[in-house]
Structure formats: C-alpha cells, structure tokens
Structure 1
C-alpha cells in the first residue's frame, strides 16, 4: 500500500496543525513559531508492506517531546532505522546522550521510550521494522540510540546497508509499487542481518537457519489462509517435529507466532487503510477467513474491537 501526504493544498495557517496531528501525532509538538504558523510546508510518502514500512519525507522545522503517556502499547511493535538526507536532526532518548545527525548519517528511534526530537529544515528516510524481529536479531532489547548507531558502524555489513538506504532514498520513489516492495523486503533482510552482527547473544543461541527461513516464509505468505505448520514444513523440506523444535528454541510455537504476526499486520493496516476497504477484506488479506473468530482474537490481543481501532484513527 502506497500513501502520500502534503500540506501543499492547505491554507498556510492550517499546515502546521495538520502535520502535527496527522504525521507528528505521537509527539507533543512544540508551540509553532510565527514563521511555522504562517508558512509551514511538508510532504511525505510511505510504502506499507507486510514485514515493515518505509517513509520518505521533506519538512520545514518541527520539534516536540514524546512523553511516557505517548508510549502506548500499540507503538511498541515498531522501531525506526533510517538516514538523514538533508538538514539536521537532534534526538535525545531519556537516559541517553543527545545525538545530532546530519546528511548521510543514521537515525534510530525506539517509540517504547520517552524522547525529544528537533528537526531543522530536512529530508529523511526511515524503515519501520518489527520490534520482535529487531530484538531477535540483537538478542535482546535495542540499546540506547547512541550506542546502537556507534556499534553499527563497526558491522561488516554497515557499508552495504548504508548504500542501500541511500539508493532507496534517491531512486525508490521512481519505482512502481511491485519493485518498491521487492527492494524493501531485501533491505529489511539486510537491516536485520546487520543488527544480528552486533547482537549480544552468543552464536550458539542465535536463531537457527530453519527458524529464520520459516519466519521469512510466514511473512511472505501470510495472506494464505492454508498456511500452517504442515505447509511450512513441506516448503522447508523438514518434518513438523523439526520445525516445532526450531520454534521452541525461540520460546515460540508455530501457530502462536503465525497468529501474532497476522494480528499485528491487521492492526497496522487498519490504522492506514482507506475507508472503502472493509475490516473483513483487510483481515482476509492477512489470512483470517472467519470474521467471528478474527474479531475475538483481535479483541483478546489488543483489548478493543477492530472497528474501535479504525474509528480511533479516523478521528485524528
């Protein structure tokens, strides 16, 4: 799914509030200056894909604080890794030192922690990655941004990741959605592999190749309602018992992981899907064919009905 937003068609005095409420909503934006109030301009594009999202953006100065009450449960599912293309970004996560990032430098943002961010006039790109996948690659929760970015520079895969992000930033918008999705999937694999090289977990405890391949198959074929342990084992040329052990080594079950990933994808799609797409259609795209069962699972997992989530984001 490809989305675009811009302040171009808005009255100048409405632009900053629109951007604050629509794009910067997870921060408490600072009071706008007279210049921001009378002439703020910004635009952004996003590709929403099964395993992660990518965002391109260009904006006048904007700043704000993410407080503890902003660190809602639903925001803990994603972390952002990206690149400053132009301008400067200042970011300070609570408990970490302040970071200033200029053109060509990495940015990392973990919504699970309060922080403050201040962008000057800027352009940027970032990936939104599944938090569980990032934690799996690192062998634990992400370290503070200053530590993670510094350590990433020592990874043998860092130059490749940096170049791929730069290429995506400069040429990604010119591709059709099919090729964008293909490139994004490969960059997500590269980002997770790069994080894995700096992970804190001993080699013998890292995910097995079988688990990694099974996880990749699940994300790529999540919309198939017949996807289950038997199908995965057949495609991976292993027994179901072997597959079960690979997931058990990660303290997971095949069915539980499949259900969780499906529910999270529905959650993300519901937050950005156009009004004409029904909840049943979105659920079916994620492999849920029984609406009653899906609604029950969704409410049990997130504490609200799917339609409540959609209504909540329409009101923003």
Structure 2
C-alpha cells in the first residue's frame, strides 16, 4: 500500500484545531496567512501521499482565505508549484494580476515562491466543507521553461476533458484508493502524474512543442491505455479505432507501443481477458453463463474466446472457473497481466 500520512484536527478540542491547521500548512507546504469564519472550531482533514518527484495532498476543510506575502516567502521558500484541483466547493486564485474562480472539476496553478491569494468556500450550507486535491511539483522537476510558466499563474484549466480529465481521474484514483497500489509503485505513479501535469500545462501554454518528446509519448500511452479500458467491452474496438480516436495514424500508434513490449491488439486482448478472468472468479457472478461474461468484454465468438483464454491461462474458461472454487484444482499457469492505467 502507498504510504499515506493523515492529519485530523478533530483529535483536538475545538479551540486548538485552527492552530493545528496553521502549523500543518507551514510544515507541509509553505507558511500562509489564513483566515476562516470557522477558526473557533476548524474541523479539517488532510491526507498526504509521496509519489517520487511529486507530492499529493487531499484536503477537506471549512471555508477559508489564505495569502502568501513577500515576508512569508522570505521566511520559507520550498520552491514548488501548486496544481490544485477543486473537487467540491468554489475556489479562488490570484497571482501576478490574474484572478480566477475555480469550480469543481477545474484546476488552478500557482508558484509558491511568489505572492498569491487563494480561497475555498463550501457551496453546501449543510456540510460547510470544501475539498481539493493538491499536486506539489518542485520547480526543478517540471520540464517546462520557467520563464514561460508565469502565463499560467492564477488561471484555471479544465479537468473534465482531454489530458486535464485524465490527470483529474488519476489524482482522484490515487488519493481515493491508495490501498490499491504497492509502495514500490510510488515512483512510477509519480512519473505518470508528472507527465500528465506537464502535458496539460504545456498545452495551456500553447507551446506543446516545448514539452519534452518523451514526456508527450508517455502521456499519450497513458491516454491510449485509459481509452482501451473505457471501451474494452465494445467488440469493434481495434487498433484502427484507437488510432482514430486519438487523431494519430495507425503506424504512429504501433510505434508508440513498441516501447511497451506489446502490440496494441495484444494489449486490447489482454485487458479483455483480465476482465473476463476477474468475472469468472467472482462468486457473485457464479450463475452467469461463461459466454455472457465473454460477450460483456468484447468476445462475441464463443470458440475464439475459449481458444485465447486457454492460451493465456492454461485451461478452458469453464474449467478455470471451477478451479477457483476448489483450491486443490487451481490452475498454476501464470496469468496474462495487464497493468491498468492509474486514472481508469
């Protein structure tokens, strides 16, 4: 499981909670001047996850306003960028003369080394809580021209479409379900997150050519894999369909997968097989016919499904299903493995 550190102010008496939060922000990001109408009982929660080059923070707090002043910057400068995804409530962001209102599903971006103002207000009076996911990116880790980044400070970017949506899904998946990943995955997940963030920021700079080629390639691979996982149940899914959906040639798609040590067709097949295998071993689906499960995941031809399943797992689908209910008969042949994209 990924290492996650959590902080909950409600472990302290109401009168001490706001002070705890101020100390937390100063220690984990950078000191800020924070005000809140709820400072007499600041019930808040934060979860921190380190992913190699980047750090993620999932915040849940009452409405607040925060300012980072030149004096506070002189006192402490961690030299990081903040990429903030609002998930509930309405945020505000202001830096270098740009002011934005950030709705749920939108990002804002700012430089902690420069003065800025941020706010976050709950929209549900019943809960009076706002939530966000913050990605902390060291200046040195972001492979984009530093002098160009100011064009993005205090602005907003969509997390509902394209690379922005994929990045948002990735952040929500990792922070919402860290138990689904191994600690050894942290570095790789961090690299994926950094690639997606870099690509999104590069596109908003209207200078995608400034994003390193390898970063663009890895981000596109992640985007293609997420597309396959979303559409794997469609029997018409094919390399051509995938290429057309991403506006690249079939030849370019095949080249993209050369470094993945598989082909696009094999990846689609393996994802389908992994879904079928999962359902065949699910006790809740025990009464569903094998062919219903196969068709659900893009295998309409019963004979073809049986052949490819046996080649992958060393047994027919029915025999494999039966073996899982009898430990003494479990098939020992290694199964085909498909690593799902983190954002799917």
Q: Deviations over 1:84-106 (max 9, x none)?
A: 11112122224212x22122111
**Unaligned regions of 5+ residues in structure 2, if any?**
122-128, 219-344
1:132 is matched with 140
Structure 2 vs 1, CA of residues 129 and 138 (structure 1 numbering), >3 Å: closer, same or farther? same
Matched position secondary structure for 1:36 = coil
Matched position secondary structure for 1:136 = coil
Residue 100 (structure 1) aligned with residue 108 (structure 2)? no
What is the Cα-based RMSD across aligned positions, in Å? 3.3
Which of these residues, 168, 171, 175, is aligned with residue 177 of structure 2? 171
- Stretch deviating more after TM superposition (138-147 or 17-26): 138-147
Which of these residues, 4, 8, 16, is aligned with residue 6 of structure 1? 8
Query: Residues 160-309 of structure 1 correspond to what in structure 2 (within 5 A)?
Result: 160-172=166-178, 175-199=181-205, 203=209, 207=212, 209=214
Q: Deviations over 1:246-295 (max 9, x none)?
A: xxxxxxxxxxxxxxxxxxxxxxxxxxxxxxxxxxxxxxxxxxxxxxxxxx
**Whole-Å Cα distance in 1 between the matches of residues 212 and 167 of structure 2?**
21
Q: Deviations over 1:19-43 (max 9, x none)?
A: 012225511122x54x431x21111
Q: CA deviation at 1:200?
A: 6.0
Q: CA deviation at 1:13?
A: 0.1
**Whole-Å Cα distance in 2 between the matches of residues 13 and 153 of structure 1?**
37
2:33 is matched with 28
Does structure 1 conserve the Cα–Cα contact (< 8 Å) formed by 2:95 and 2:154? Answer: no
Q: CA deviation at 1:67?
A: 0.6
Aligned residues: 205
**Whole-Å Cα distance in 2 between the matches of residues 201 and 138 of structure 1?**
13
Does structure 2 conserve the Cα–Cα contact (< 8 Å) formed by 1:133 and 1:192? Answer: no
2:149 is matched with 141
Q: Deviations over 1:43-94 (max 9, x none)?
A: 1111123311111111112222111122248635211113111112122224
**Unaligned regions of 5+ residues in structure 1, if any?**
214-316
Q: Deviations over 1:220-265 (max 9, x none)?
A: xxxxxxxxxxxxxxxxxxxxxxxxxxxxxxxxxxxxxxxxxxxxxx
Structure 2 vs 1, CA of residues 104 and 172 (structure 1 numbering), >3 Å: closer, same or farther? farther
Does structure 2 conserve the Cα–Cα contact (< 8 Å) formed by 1:83 and 1:126? Answer: yes
**Whole-Å Cα distance in 2 between the matches of residues 55 and 154 of structure 1?**
20
- Stretch deviating more after TM superposition (40-49 or 12-21): 40-49
**Whole-Å Cα distance in 1 between the matches of residues 116 and 63 of structure 2?**
17
TM-score for the superposition, normalised by structure 1: 0.55
Does structure 1 conserve the Cα–Cα contact (< 8 Å) formed by 2:52 and 2:186? Answer: no
Q: CA deviation at 1:139?
A: 6.9
| Structure number with larger C-alpha Rg | 2
Does structure 2 conserve the Cα–Cα contact (< 8 Å) formed by 1:85 and 1:124? Answer: yes
**Whole-Å Cα distance in 2 between the matches of residues 177 and 29 of structure 1?**
34
Does structure 2 conserve the Cα–Cα contact (< 8 Å) formed by 1:87 and 1:102? Answer: yes
Does structure 2 conserve the Cα–Cα contact (< 8 Å) formed by 1:20 and 1:29? Answer: yes
